[in-house]
């Protein structure tokens, strides 16, 4: 199975900060990666697909990059509604696998 190593596991930041979350795949997955945001008690929402394409409803402050084994999610200027848990997902090979998650908290 492909392992997705996501870092950091938690992050404290302030409104207006720029933050970056990283996912590393144990083998190359082309750009078959998505990023998801989950708030407590809610279903996850997809923010990024194909590693760098912004979901139509997602704010433009979110961006994704990478290919192969290294991927990043960047939030350019944190807003209060961005404090949540973020997950990467590889959908290159079954079984699909998620990263462990990054909990983004208010500093």
Partner 1 sequence: EVQLVESGGGLVQPGGSLRLSCVASGFTFSSYTMGWVRHIPGKGLEWVSCIIKGSNSIYYADSVKGRFTISRDNVKNSLYLQMNSLRDDDTAVYYCVRDQWLAYWGQGTLVAVSS
Check binding of 91 to partner 1 (CB under 8 A): yes
CA distances in angstroms from 60 to 7, 15, 54, 55, 78, listed in the order given: 22, 16, 8, 9, 12
Number of Cβ within a 10 Å radius of residue 95 = 7
Residue 77, CA distances (Å) to 17, 20, 59, 73, 106 in order: 5, 11, 11, 13, 13
Q: Is 43 in the site for partner 1 (CB under 8 A)?
A: yes
Stretch that binds partner 1, among 10-18, 64-72, 75-83, 95-103 (CB under 8 A): 95-103
Is 39 among the residues that bind partner 1 (CB under 8 A)? no
User: Of 19-27, 64-72, 73-81, 92-100, which segment contacts partner 1 by CB under 8 A?
Assistant: 92-100
Which residues in this chain contact partner 1 in the complex, by CB under 8 A?
1, 34, 36, 38, 43-46, 49, 55, 87, 89, 91, 94-101
């Amino acid at each position: 199975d492909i392992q997705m190593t996501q870092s950091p596991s938690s992050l404290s930041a302030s409104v207006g900060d720029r933050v970056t979350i990283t996912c590393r795949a144990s083998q190359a997955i082309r750009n078959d990666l998505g990023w998801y945001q989950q708030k407590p008690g809610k279903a996850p929402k997809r923010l990024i697909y194909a590693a760098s394409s912004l979901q139509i409803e997602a704010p433009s402050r979110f961006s994704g990059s990478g290919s192969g084994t290294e991927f990043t999610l960047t939030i350019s200027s944190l807003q209060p509604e961005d404090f949540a848990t973020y997950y990467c997902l590889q959908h290159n090979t079954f079984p699909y696998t998620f990263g462990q998650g990054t909990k983004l908290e208010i500093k």
